[in-house]
Amino acid sequence: MAASEGQWVLMATGRSPTNIAVIKYWGKRDEALILPVNDSISVTLDPDHLSATTTVAVSPSFPSDRMWLNGKEISLSGGRFQSCLREIRKRGCEFEDEKKGIKIKKEDWENLHVHIASYNNFPTAAGLASSAAGFACLVFTLGKLMNVKEDYGELSSIARQGSGSACRSLYGGFVKWCMGKKDDGSDSLAVQLADETHWNDLVIIIAVVSSKQKETSSTSGMRDSVETSPLLRYRAQTVVPSRVLKMEEAIKNRDFDSFAKLTCADSNQFHAVCLDTSPPIFYMNDTSHRMISLVEKWNHSQGTPQVAYTFDAGPNAVLIAPNRKTAALLLQKLLYYFPPQDKDLSRCGRPSCTSRDEDTGSEIQGRR
């Protein structure tokens, strides 16, 4: 370490979008390593809309690791944060900034403490994958700070240990989280199926039914499902594998019909498994049901899917339209049937996926 030890602070800032699963992840086969019972596929949102922004700082003057989420200090003692910090520190590389008098050797990272400040520009723990964006951003930004050379696949496997679905936020476009087979989880990582330019007509509208924090966390919910739902295993072993293949085809061919049918069916099946859990888990409410009915009736009346819906671990609808024209029609219908005084129907964005490197102003296109 340089002579100026204690004087300097090194910082990095990154931004990661959230992602929306179209083939759902629900159920772990390994709780500690966060290894799933099935593959999943997601679309990464445009970071301009729903994203986490994280700044990490390191300095010899920091006596301990600390973190602030949306301005409020939170504990880093949990195993998930510790896993991410440990795995990134292990992979840190030598860094030197002669002008500032900073010189960090590979082994120094183990002893340097970090301060982390992260912000979500959308509700936390309301079933909008805030932890996915958050952990992806944490790992990405720490990796940048610590000069980590690993590729996005390897980083995704680290982010996975923070929050399973975080691994899918490392890439833009359409992303598959391969469940992997190995006991150590090293092959349980994300791969990009198609980048954000592949199908950029798609428009995603998030209808925020409630921004309250959910009653059942995803973590405890999926643990209960694995332990008590007779249908979960069948879904994971028999239904999902064939759906994943069909979904990959649909994405490759930009086949909105198949994409929409698979997306809706898989959302409903995930919530079916939640209901088959003891005690049952209800993430959707009457408003969610009414939104589904609206879309189903519309799709039925047209004879072909106009819009797809998917719900994560919360009542908020994620609606996917094939183009801006249909999205405008959808918005009209939503505003008519769910007037804004009742509901906060607002966020709308293209599922683009640039990852802005805010430190330098450069954008890493097509990689995340």
Q: Residues interacting with a copy of itself, by CB under 8 A?
A: 228, 230-231, 234-235, 238-239, 261, 264-265, 268-269, 271-273, 275-280, 282, 285-286, 289, 292-293, 296, 300
Shortest distance, CB of residue 285 to a copy of itself, whole angstroms? Answer: 5
What minimum distance in Å lies between the beta carbon of 97 and a copy of itself? 56
Residue with Cβ nearer a copy of itself (51 or 277): 277
The least CB distance from residue 282 to a copy of itself, in Å, is: 5
Output the 3-class SS for 56-121: EEEECCCCCCEEEECCEEECCCCHHHHHHHHHHHHHCCCEEECCCCEEECHHHHHCCEEEEEEEEC
Amino acid at 91: R
Strands 95-97 and 102-104: antiparallel
Comparison of 2 and 275: residue with beta carbon closer to a copy of itself:
275
Closer to a copy of itself by CB, 14 or 127: give it.
127
Residues 235-247 as b or e (16 or more Cβ within 10 Å = b): bbeebbeebbeeb
d(CA 241, CA 178): 11
Which amino acid, 200?
A: N
Q: What are the structure tokens assigned to 143, written together? A: 């990796």
3-state secondary structure 192-248: EEECCCCCCCCEEEEEECCCCCCCCCHHHHHHHHHHHCHHHHHHHHHHHHHHHHHHH
Closer to a copy of itself by Cβ: residue 71 or 230: 230
In whole angstroms, how close is the CB of 317 to a copy of itself at the nearest point?
13
> How many whole angstroms separate alpha carbon 165 and alpha carbon 135?
9
Nearer to a copy of itself, 51 or 229 (CB): 229
User: Closer CB to a copy of itself, residue 165 or residue 277?
Assistant: 277
Task: Please provide residue 241's backbone torsions phi and psi, each rounded to the nearest 5 degrees.
Answer: -55, -40
Kindly state the smallest distance separating residue 197's Cβ from a copy of itself, in Å.
31
Phi, psi of 207, deg, nearest 5: -95, 105
Nearer to a copy of itself, 296 or 359 (CB): 296
Least distance (Å) from a copy of itself to the CB of residue 269? 5
Q: Is residue 116 within 8 Å of residue 19, measured between CB atoms?
A: no
Name the minimum Å distance from CB 241 to a copy of itself: 12
Bridge partner list, 43: 20, 174
| 3-class secondary-structure state, position 45 | coil
CB nearer to a copy of itself: pick between 217 and 285 = 285
- Return the bridge partners of 57, or none: 11, 115
Tokens read off for 104: 């960090």
The residue among 82 and 268 lying less far from a copy of itself, judged by its C-beta, is: 268
Q: Which tokens belong to 154?
A: 């390897």
Tell me how far, at minimum, the Cβ of 280 lies from a copy of itself, in Å: 5
